[in-house]
Amino acid sequence: MIVPQRIGTPNRAGAGAAAAAVALALLMLLAVHRPGATTPAQPEPPSSAAPPVRFEVKGTVTSVRADGATLTILPEGPGAQGPLVIRMVAGGTVVVMDDGVSTEPHAAQPGDRVPVWGWRYADGALTAGRVHVLGRRAGGASAGIARAEARSTIRGVIVGRAPAVSLLTEQGTVRVVVLTAATRVNGQRSSSADLRVYDIVSADGTVNADGSITAIRISVEFAATSAARVTGVISQVTAESSLVLGPSTWVNLLPETWIVQGTSRRSPRDLVPGTAVTVYGTTSAGGPRPTVIAARLIVISR
């Protein structure tokens, strides 16, 4: 049997649902297109920044923030540029005085000389892991810290050992280095007997009134007694970076090669045919090839 249907009479439940759907769509459309509306921020992708790398720098403290959060130093040495601001981490950065006592981050003071070890981040920021305050001990004055004495670090070739160590410096001057029972050579308690003429060293210590240095520590960069040694007369100079001794010993000059005569520093221009020299460095030889020595030190005979 066919049941007659009413034409034009809507289903009330269906109509209500349809109206709600239309209203929701309109609200969403207005939310997207209303003036001033912004799209929600998307999650940032994981950082691809490079991991931090170790750094080491030595210099003079120029300022310390009152809360010890940052340390500004003026680096020293070849190629040093501008002041560096280094972050100090409370509970993380270790500040050590010369007697090995750890202290608070703000213990360093302007004028102190410090080596700093830490981390350099991809954005160039520096964070200190360890700061060593040279020439200072824990305790002392009522303020708790003694002021640093005048300090200096010099590098050069030992050209004499009696009565004190004489060091021919990079500037071409000779400085006297005084060793005491507290002086450490390569980290060990030692004496001038452990240093040899023609060793290349760096010495850090207190500057005395006469210009000599009482060494706190000495680092031997090149030990002449353990190096290869060749003596001969220059027979040929091929360039400022290469020369020949005798018939077949080739000598290569390096950027760090020292050339000395007596207590004076010389240049490659002083290495001419007929000059008697002793060369210290590392050698290589094999089969029919001539001996080749990479020179760290060339001593021109008197």
Question: Candidates 3.30.420.40, 2.40.50.140, 3.30.1490.100, 3.50.50.60; correct CATH number of 227-300?
Answer: 2.40.50.140
Range with top average pLDDT, 43-57, 63-77, 140-154: 63-77
- 135/211: higher pLDDT: 211
Burial-class residue 178 by CB neighbours within 10 Å (0-12, 13-18, 19+). Answer: middle
Tokens of 64: 């310390």
Note if the bond before 115 is cis, omega within 30 degrees: no
Per DSSP, 138 falls in state B
Which stretches of the chain are DSSP H helices? 12-33
Delimit the CATH 2.40.50.320 region(s) of the chain: 53-132
CB 98 within 8 A of CB 108: no
For the chain, the residue count is 302
Confidence of residue 6 (pLDDT cuts 50, 70, 90): very low
3-state class (DSSP) for residue 6: coil
* DSSP secondary structure of 175-219: EEEE--TT-EETTEE--GGG--TT-EEEEEEEEPTTS-EEEEEEE
How crowded is the C-beta side of 161, counted as CA atoms within 13 Å? 10
CATH 2.40.50.140 for domain 151-223, yes or no, is yes
3-state class (DSSP) for residue 39: coil
d(CA 290, CA 225): 23
Question: Candidates 2.40.50.320, 3.30.43.10, 3.30.70.120, 3.40.47.10; correct CATH number of 53-132?
Answer: 2.40.50.320
Tokens of 84: 């560096």
Strand pairing class (249-261; 292-300) = parallel
Tokens of 246: 């005798």
d(CA 12, CA 6): 14
Catalogue the long-range contacts made by 53-56 (C-beta closer than 8 Å, 24 or more residues apart). 53/119, 53/120, 54/117, 54/118, 54/119, 54/120, 55/117, 55/118, 55/119, 55/120, 55/126, 56/115, 56/116, 56/117
Tokens of 200: 């290349």
pTM of the model: 0.51
Using the Cα atoms of residue 258, residue 259, residue 264 and residue 270 in order, give the sign of their dihedral: negative
- 127/25: higher pLDDT: 127
Average pLDDT, integer, range 211-218: 87
Share of the chain above pLDDT 90, in %: 27
d(CA 133, CA 57): 13
> Tens of pLDDT along 161-201?
877 899 999 888 999 998 888 888 988 776 667 899 999 99
Tokens of 101: 């006592």
Delimit the CATH 2.40.50.140 region(s) of the chain: 151-223, 227-300
